[in-house]
Amino acid sequence: MRVLAEEGAVEMDLGFLAEVREQCLQPIERCFHCQKCTSGCYLSEYFDYAPNQVIRLVQFGLREQVLKSASIWLCAACQTCAVRCPNGISIPEVMDVLRNMAVAAKGPVAGNARLFHGLFVGDIRRRGRVNEALLLAWYKMRTRQLLADLKEGMILLRKGKLPLVPSRVKDRKEVRRIFRRLEETKRRYIIR
Ligand code: SF4
Ligand code: SF4
């Protein structure tokens, strides 16, 4: 985990907080850093900035740091932090907006996050739901890391977590309509 005070001289973007707030509709300015979100986040040990630090970066207008952060891509939107926050801040909503901003800014994105999310959204767009086995296969082929995580993959397969026959939602027209609507509003950028 990184320490914000060690960042050295940084450039603050004073309009950034308002921009993020307008898009995620979360009262980010109310965060008083009690860290209830961070202490409940089961993924925070893998984050470069803890969940409350991500909020701090936004409050301070540190656009570049937060959009380059791996944390915004590692958040699994499990909602644990959202239900624990005494100020009613839904961090997954904030993360969502930050991811979209990072994609729109066309800056560096941590690891293969852009590719993974692109494949994930593409699968939803096609069939209305993700097939984990197909998603993994595409990802492995594109990254050429065919043998990485093989052991974990076998465990998932044995537990029936990687269904080999893809399913699709009945009303795919509705899925297409949702994607069209998102593109029209331009509030959310679809990762392709
Ligand atoms: S739980 Fe809410 S108020 Fe506390 S640090 Fe996290 S976002 Fe801020
Ligand atoms: S929603 Fe994201 S930040 Fe919040 S607890 Fe879950 S993984 Fe952590």
- Give yes or no: residues 97 and 30 share one domain: yes
Q: In the prediction, which pLDDT does 105 show?
A: 86
Domain membership of residue 48 (yes or no) is yes
Q: Is 32 in the pocket of ligand 1 (CB under 6 A)?
A: yes
Among 89, 105, 121, the domain boundary falls at 105
Domain membership of residue 3 (yes or no) is no
- Cα 52 to middle of ligand 1, angstroms: 6
Ligand with smallest separation from the Cα of 73: 2
Among 105, 123, 144, the domain boundary falls at 105
Q: Is the pLDDT confidence value at 3 over 70? A: no
Looking at the CA of residue 38, tell me the nearest atom of ligand 1: 6
Q: Is 85 in the pocket of ligand 1 (CB under 6 A)?
A: yes
- Give yes or no: residues 129 and 70 share one domain: no
- Give yes or no: residues 44 and 82 share one domain: yes
- Give yes or no: residues 118 and 97 share one domain: no
Among 48, 71, 105, the domain boundary falls at 105
| Overall number of domains in the chain | 2
Domain membership of residue 1 (yes or no) is no
Domain of 96: which CATH number? 1.10.1060.10
115-168 pLDDT, tens digit per residue, is: 888 899 898 988 898 998 889 889 999 998 888 888 888 898 899 888 888 888
- Give yes or no: residues 30 and 77 share one domain: yes
Ligand with smallest separation from the Cα of 36: 1
> Which residues line the pocket of ligand 2, CB cutoff 6 A?
40-41, 43, 51, 75-81, 91-92
- Residues spanned by the domain of 90: 10-105
Rounded alpha-carbon distances, angstroms, from residue 127 to 36, 53, 82, 134, 174: 37, 36, 29, 12, 11
- Give yes or no: residues 92 and 18 share one domain: yes
Domain membership of residue 192 (yes or no) is no
Q: How far apart are CA 168 and CA 81, in angstroms?
A: 31
Domain membership of residue 190 (yes or no) is no
- Give yes or no: residues 59 and 118 share one domain: no
Q: Is 35 in the pocket of ligand 1 (CB under 6 A)?
A: yes
Confidence of residue 46 (pLDDT cuts 50, 70, 90): very high
52-109 pLDDT, tens digit per residue, is: 999 999 999 999 999 999 999 999 999 999 999 999 999 999 999 999 899 888 877 7
Q: Going by CA atoms, what residue is nearest to atom 5 of ligand 2?
A: 41
Question: What secondary structure does DSSP assign to the chain, as a single string?
Answer: ---GGGG-S----TTHHHHHHHHH---GGG-----HHHHH-TTGGG-SS-HHHHHHHHHTT-HHHHHH-SHHHH-----HHHHH-TT---HHHHHHHHHHHHHHHT---STTHHHHHHHHHHHHHHHSS--HHHHHHHHHHHHT-TTTTHHHHHHHHHTT-S-SS----S-HHHHHHHHHHHHHH-SSPPP-
- Cα 96 to middle of ligand 1, angstroms: 17
- Cα 113 to middle of ligand 1, angstroms: 25
Q: In the prediction, which pLDDT does 5 show?
A: 54
- Cα 171 to middle of ligand 1, angstroms: 38
For residue 61 the two structure tokens come to 């207008």
Q: Is the pLDDT confidence value at 192 over 50? A: no
- Give yes or no: residues 26 and 52 share one domain: yes
Looking at the CA of residue 54, tell me the nearest atom of ligand 2: 3
